[in-house]
Structure 1
Amino acid sequence: MQLDAAARDRFAADLAALWPEAERGGRPLGLAVSGGPDSLALLLLAHAALPGGIAVASIDHGLRPEAAGEVALVERIAAERGVPFTPMRVTLMPGNVQAEARAARYRALARWAAEAALGAVATAHHADDQAETLLMRLNRGSGLAGLAGVRARTVLEGTELPLLRPLLGWRKAELGAIVAGEGLMAAQDPSNADPAFDRARLRARLAEADWLDPLRVAASAAHLAEGWQALEWYAELDWHEMVMRDAGDAPGFTYCANAPRIIGIETILRIIRELGGHATRSEAARAWERLWAGENASLGGVLAVPAVETVAKIGVLMRVWRFRPEPARSLN
């Protein structure tokens, strides 16, 4: 069955908004396709909108015996349409299963993108996914960075390659209808309905809440993402204007802390990274609170010491926080 031209054109417009023609350079778009209805719809839409311009990868996470068959399903569907296909299998590290699977999946996609000389990679996150993500994070008390939800365009970690989510304006039911209309039987991952997972429990409750519009919730996440992008821009200015690298051989930074708390937290995180450490946003928030109160703070192997001084370049009293690698602790 021929894919509906209106759906094809709608997808092409959504994709162009994230990945303009001028950026593509003739390179193919890589698709992460699991065999579920959402990602199969992504394959069908992209094949219709970019004939001869896509490649597909499918990943077996080694969690379910059915996964190998799902990879084979995607391979068959891609082959029927003349789309290059790459199967992959990943090994998960111990820990949170879903988080580890996600991390391993994106590492594998980054390797594949480099080997296949792709121009971008797309995943099939849609409006219902975005609504679930935002509501879960609201329930956890997430900050603005978390409430921004799944970004429509980011980069694959460790690369400069665009990572695209062109289906964030599409409902799950729409995508399922596209797959059914092509006469395809999508794979169903039982973990999507397993109440052991927070997302599955929330999904079941949302199905009962006919007053909640996932498209509107997803739009709110997009507005929050715009707000977060503005704050990232301000944090970049704060870094360049208010942070000074210390002179001499010893590593260290001096931060004239005059920005709002949410900006200061981002600047602290960047200082910690520059000094070779690692900290979470919540740890940086606690450090900001201690420093603002005039107390030392230690995080990510870095010691921060607060003071109030007249800053020469500004000529006024300001909070000045100095960051140095923590001294080695004595073994005695």
Structure 2
Amino acid sequence: MVEAGDLDRFRTDLDRLAPGAGIIALAVSGGPDSMALLALAHAARPDSVIVATVDHRLRSASGEEAAMVARYCAALGLPHATLAPEKPIAGASIQALAREARYALLADWARARGARALATAHHADDQAETFLMRAARGSGVSGLAGVRPRAEIAGMPVVRPLLGWRRTELRQIASRAGAPFVDDPSNQDTRYDRVRFRALLADAPALDPAALAQSAAALAEAEQALSFAVDRLWSERANGDVTLRLDVGGLPRELRRRLVRRAIGLVRTHHAIALPPWGDASNVEPLLDSLAAGKRATQAGVMLTPRGDMWKIEKAPSRRSL
């Protein structure tokens, strides 16, 4: 049974992220965190919850875990679907590949059933682990902001109503609700970065996961403010179509960094440049150094030419074959 205090708290968190009526789809793996999400959501919105479990088929027990979730949903009277990728997941970064496949499957399923949002069970301890992992890699504001309470992934709104909850709380909620759950053995596999950082947090009491998660939330607000500033600066300082001109006069490096990334992305889109790969996290530091020194530079198929504080951004000329 879900206690009244937990239910009120969850309703507040969920209503903030997904207000109003409509179907909420839940991603439930069978672990204690997602089973707590299932128990809380069923208690809060019993008539508007649907559930799916993704069986990546990476472990022999995964099929039975999905069946366990299905049985519990049947007992609660909730619709449940088990989803699986068409092709086996394989590659060097298998967790990243599994995540990509999982969200694609969940988004398609949720959309087909008219869900207005997909809810996942990410919590404060997940956020703290993500913060430390990204800090160790030298991430900037966007990366350190971690898991967002609300995002769009694979074209589907995704909400995380448990980001303010601790792992231990959720395990207790699942137990009190009588929900079955399993502990994924991969959570003990030290080959994965997340497992090692989880152990680091456990061994360092001075690193408070709740405080780290709060720092990530503050950085998410800073990221939102920076995005707002960049949108306004773009409307004021960028012009052109095939060839862009960008006035960067008086701007700090972080804003130049974001504006030039946007400019490169737009030129690549306009000219259908697919290779080399490009993204919001692509390293542009050497490029910014060259432009600040008044030197022309090329990156990702785009040429940038500085004329004082005015930068011209256009498709790079094709290389002549010898």
Is 1:235–1:264's contact at 8 Å kept on the other side of the alignment?
Answer: no
Q: Which runs of 4+ in 1 moved over 4 A?
A: none
- Could you say which residue in structure 2 is the equivalent of 1:16? 15
Quote the residue 1:264 is aligned against.
256
Which residue, 142, 146, 149 being the options, matches 1:152? 149
**C-alpha distance in structure 1 between counterparts of 2:95 and 2:59, whole Å:** 13
CA distance in 1, matches of 2:58, 2:293: 48
| Residue aligning to 2:126 | 129
Cα distance, 1:331 vs structure 2: 2.3
Classify the secondary structure of the residue corresponding to 2:313. Answer: strand
Structure-1 residue corresponding to 2:177: 182
* C-alpha distance in 2 between matches for 1:270 and 1:166: 31
Taking the aligned partners of 2:204 and 2:144, their CA distance within structure 1 comes to 21
> In the alignment, which residue of structure 1 is the partner of 2:201?
206
**Does residue 329 of the first structure (1) align with residue 319 of the second (2)?**
yes
> 1:282 Cα shift?
4.0
Give how far 1:93 is off. 5.5
TM-score by length of 1: 0.90
Q: How does 1:241-252 map to 2 (within 5 A)?
A: 241-246=236-241, 251-252=242-243
2:39/2:179 contact within 8 Å kept: no
Instruction: Report the residue type matching 2:8 in the other structure.
Output: D
Structure ranking higher on relative contact order (CA contacts 8 Å, 6+ apart)? 2
Cα distance in 1, alignment partners of residues 123 and 104 from structure 2: 22
- Is 1:292 the counterpart of 2:292? The answer is yes
SS at match of 2:97: helix
Instruction: In structure 1, list runs of 5 or more residues that go unmatched.
Output: 309-318
Letter in 2 for 1:253: L
Q: Distance in 2 between matches of 1:279 and 1:187?
A: 36
Rounded to whole Å, the distance in 1 between the matches of 2:186 and 2:232 is: 43
Q: Which residue of 1 aligns with 2:265?
A: 273
TM-superposition CA deviations, 1:270-299 (whole Å, max 9, x none):
222212243453423332222112122212
State whether structure 2 residue 227 is matched by structure 1 residue 235. no
Separation (CA, whole Å) in 2 of partners of 1:321 and 1:93: 43
1:99 maps to which of 96, 99, 109:
96
Assess, with a 3 A threshold, how the Cα gap between structure 1 residues 232 and 280 changes in structure 2: closer, same or farther: closer
Letter paired with 1:269: R
Cα-Cα RMSD: 1.5
Per the alignment, residue 140 of structure 2 pairs with 143
1:255 pairs with 2:237? no
Superposition TM-score, scaled by structure 2 size = 0.92
Deviations 1:80-103 (A, max 9, x none): 111111211124353311111111
Asked if the contact 2:68/2:180 (under 8 Å) is kept, the reply is no
Q: Which residue of 2 aligns with 1:65?
A: 60
Looking at structure 1, the residues matched to 208 and 91 of structure 2 have their Cα atoms a distance apart, in angstroms, of 37
42-51 vs 56-65, which moves further: 56-65
Q: Which amino acid aligns with 1:175?
A: L
SS at match of 2:126: helix
Alpha-carbon contact 2:50-2:78 (below 8 Å) kept: yes
Of the three residues 18, 29, 36, the one matched with 1:34 is 29
Q: Please, which moves more after superposition, 279-288 or 227-236? A: 279-288
Distance 2:282 2:262 in 1: 14
**How big is the shift at 1:50?**
0.6
Please give the alpha-carbon distance, in whole angstroms, between the structure 2 residues aligned to 1:228 and 1:260.
Answer: 15
User: How many residues matched?
Assistant: 311
Q: What is the CA distance between 1:211 and its match in structure 2?
A: 2.9
Deviation of the 1:42 alpha carbon: 0.4
Q: Give unmatched runs, 5+ long, in structure 2.
A: none
Give the stretch that moved more between structures: 68-77 or 287-296. 287-296
Q: Which residue of structure 1 aligns with residue 6 of structure 2?
A: 7
Cα offset for 1:129? 0.5
* C-alpha distance in structure 2 between counterparts of 1:104 and 1:51, whole Å: 28
Q: Is the 8 A contact 1:265 1:281 kept in 2?
A: no
Are 1:320 and 2:310 counterparts? Answer: yes
In structure 2, give the amino acid aligned to 1:121. Answer: L
